[in-house]
Each structure stands twice: as C-alpha cells, then as structure tokens.
Amino acid sequence: MISMRGVTVAYGSRVVLDHIDLDIYDGETLVILGASGSGKSTILRLLIGLQKPQSGTVCIDGQDITAYSEDEMNQIRRRMGMVFQYSALFDSMTVGENVAFGLRQHTHCGEEEIRSIVTEKLHLVGLDRIENMMPNDLSGGMKKRVSLARAIALDPTVILYDEPTAGLDPLRCMDINRLIVNMQRHLKATSIVVTHDMDSAFYVADRLAMLQDGKFLAIAPKEEFLHCENQQVQLFIHGGRLPDDRREQI
C-alpha cells in the first residue's frame, strides 16, 4: 500500500532520514521504533503530507504524493486517520463535536447521519453516551479513545499512531493496545505505529522497523525482529542491556 524510496529529510545540516526505503503492506500493522529525534514522527508527517522530503518518493497505492498540491493531499488525507501523541482534541468542542469534525469538513453528511456515526465510533472505542462531555472532563485514557474515534470517523484505510500510549498507566496502555489491534481487524486498515513502549510494540505489531542515524537498522516480522542479531537493536529492545548480560546478572 505504501512505498518510500530514497527518502531524505534534513533540518539544516542534521540529516534525520538518509535515503531510506520502506514498504508498508496492505492491512498490516507496522511499528516504527527509534530514539527521540530519530525521525519516527517525521515519517508520519511525510505520509500525511505535512512535510515534503528533500529527495526521494513517497507512494500510496502507486501514487507519488511528494509533488501533490494541498487539494490533492486533502483527497489522500480523507483516507487516513491520525492519533496524535497528546490526543490534540479541541478543548472548546464537546466530545461529539471533536469526533464529528472531519465529517463536517470533508463530507456532505446530514446532522442526523453525523450523530449516528459519532455514536457508532465512540461505541467502537468503548465510550458510550459521552458526546456532550468536554475534553477537560476526560481522563488521559479517555482522551486517547476519543482521538481514535475521531481518527476512524471517515473509515480510513490507513491509521497513523504517534506514541499512542504516552503518558498512560500500564492498565490504560493495554486498553489502547487492544484498541489498536481491534481497529486493524475491524476496519481492515493499514496501521503505522510510532512508539517507545516495547510491550505495546510487540503486542500490536505484525512487523517492526528500527531507525538509527537516519537509517533502518532492521525491518522484520516481530519474531525475527526479537531475535535480530544487530546489537543496537537488541540494546534498544532490552533497555540498554544485552540479553546474555542480563541473564548473567540474575
């Protein structure tokens, strides 16, 4: 579904993505790992057209979007949903208005149909009868769920998640992990997840990719990735300590 070839992004003299290649398959969940500032979120911005690469191509369903106009990108964005790291809800809008925002911007649905879709999407994320609540009245986990409901309101074929479990306690993290898996199954969507959370990464992923110094160190199905021989990958997975070293200290 998605293909990146020779993509380079630099901020001044700092190269964040250095001629990377990446394929993301239709219907899979790909998790992108890497240290802060490694370019993970930059990949999401490239996919949704909020940023252009200095070189290379970004193709979605065979269409190179790097030269698309804003109007053309808006047509692509209608097929995408984005769950932001800190939910990015509109504080002045009710929950229902937040979920309905994209429907009102990008469709000609009537108000009755919009209300029905909002109710359906909130139910899918386990939040019933909260349409009239305000974001400030919600817990962090509920805000993430509302953000996901808004992201899926237009039935996207691609869902992008930027640190979806950031700031949540372990129980709420697992709730979000289950939702990511359920959305992928229910919508048959292609999901790209950026996260530092190893438990989350291995729970939701079909494949994982790790960025370091502008390059992918490894891209593999999760079982292969878990046993990858690259030492930097193993250090990242195991929190800076190699598995053999850890066993020796037990």
Question: How far is 233 from 210, CA to CA, in rounded Å?
Answer: 7
Each residue of 123-137: pLDDT tens digit?
Answer: 999 999 999 999 999
* pLDDT reported for residue 168: 85
Q: How many CB atoms lie within 10 A of CB 60?
A: 20
* pLDDT reported for residue 36: 83
DSSP per-residue letters across 110-133: -HHHHHHHHHHHHHHTT--S-TT-
* pLDDT reported for residue 242: 64
pTM: 0.89
Domain boundaries, the chain: 29-49+70-249
* pLDDT reported for residue 243: 62
pLDDT of 14 higher than 50: yes
Alpha helices in 32-69 (DSSP H): 40-47
pLDDT of 193 higher than 70: yes
pLDDT of 73 higher than 70: yes
pLDDT of 6 higher than 70: yes
Question: How far is 24 from 11, CA to CA, in rounded Å?
Answer: 25
> Average pLDDT, stretch 77-95?
90
Question: How far is 66 from 4, CA to CA, in rounded Å?
Answer: 10
Q: Classify domain 29-49+70-249 at the CATH superfamily level.
A: P-loop containing nucleotide triphosphate hydrolases (3.40.50.300)
Each residue of 144-181: pLDDT tens digit?
Answer: 999 999 999 999 999 999 999 988 888 889 999 999 99
* pLDDT reported for residue 107: 87
pLDDT of 246 higher than 50: no
**Residue 212 main-chain phi, psi, to 5 deg:** -155, 135
Up-side HSE of residue 180: CA atoms within 13 Å toward CB? 33
* pLDDT reported for residue 247: 45
Up-side HSE of residue 195: CA atoms within 13 Å toward CB? 29
> Average pLDDT, stretch 226-236?
93
* pLDDT reported for residue 128: 94
Each residue of 232-244: pLDDT tens digit?
Answer: 999 999 887 666 5
> Average pLDDT, stretch 206-235?
94
Q: Predicted confidence band at 120 (pLDDT cuts at 50, 70, 90)?
A: very high
> Average pLDDT, stretch 6-11?
95
pLDDT of 225 higher than 90: yes
Tokens of 103: 């429907």
